[in-house]
A and B are shown apart, each in its own frame.
Chain A
Amino acid sequence: MSALVSLVSRLGAWVIGCISATGLFARFFVQLLARSGIALRRPRLVSQQVHFIGNYSLLIITVSGLFVGFVLGLQGYYTLRRYGSEEALGLLVALSLVRELGPVVTALLFAGRAGTSLTAEIGLMKAGEQLAAMEVMAVDPLRRVLVPRLWGGIIAMPILAAVFSMVGIIGGWFVGVQMIGVDAGAFWSQMQSGVDVWNDIANGVIKSVVFGITVTLVALYEGWHARPTPEGVSRATTRTVVVSSLAVLGLDFLLTALMFGN
Chain B
Amino acid sequence: MSRSKTDFWVGLFVLLGAAALVFLALRAGNLSTFSFAPTYSLTANFNNIGGLKAGAPVKSAGVTVGRVARIDFDNTLFQAVVTLNMDQSRQFPTDSSVSILTSGLLGEQYLGIDPGGEEKDLADGERIQYTQSAVVLENLISQFLYSSADKQGTASSGDDAPAPPAEPAMTPSGQGTGAPASSAPASGAAQTPSETTPPQSK
Contact = CB atoms under 8 A, between A and B. Distances in A.
A162 B23 CA distance: 9
Contact of A197 (B14, B16, B31): B31
A207 to B, nearest CB: 13
A69 to B, nearest CB: 12
A48 B13 contact: no
20 contacts: A50-B14, A51-B13, A55-B10, A55-B13, A98-B28, A98-B29, A158-B17, A159-B13, A159-B17, A165-B20, A166-B19, A169-B27, A192-B30, A192-B32, A193-B30, A193-B108, A196-B29, A196-B30, A197-B30, A197-B34
A51 B6 contact: yes
B7 to A, nearest CB: 7
B30 A159 contact: no
B24 A201 contact: yes
Contacts of A50: 10, 13-14
Contact of B30 (A51, A85, A195): A195
Interface of B: 3, 6-7, 9-10, 12-14, 16-17, 19-21, 23-25, 27-34, 55, 106, 108
Contacts of B29: 98, 192, 195-197, 200-201
Interface of A: 44, 47-48, 50-51, 54-55, 58, 85, 94, 98, 155-156, 158-160, 162-163, 165-166, 169, 188, 191-197, 200-201, 205
A74 B19 CA distance: 26
B30 A55 contact: no
Contacts of A54: 10, 13
B70 to A, nearest CB: 16
Contact of A48 (B6, B17, B19, B30): B6
Given A47-B10, A165-B24, A193-B30, A159 B16 contact: yes
Contacts of A188: 27
Contact of A166 (B23, B31, B108): B23
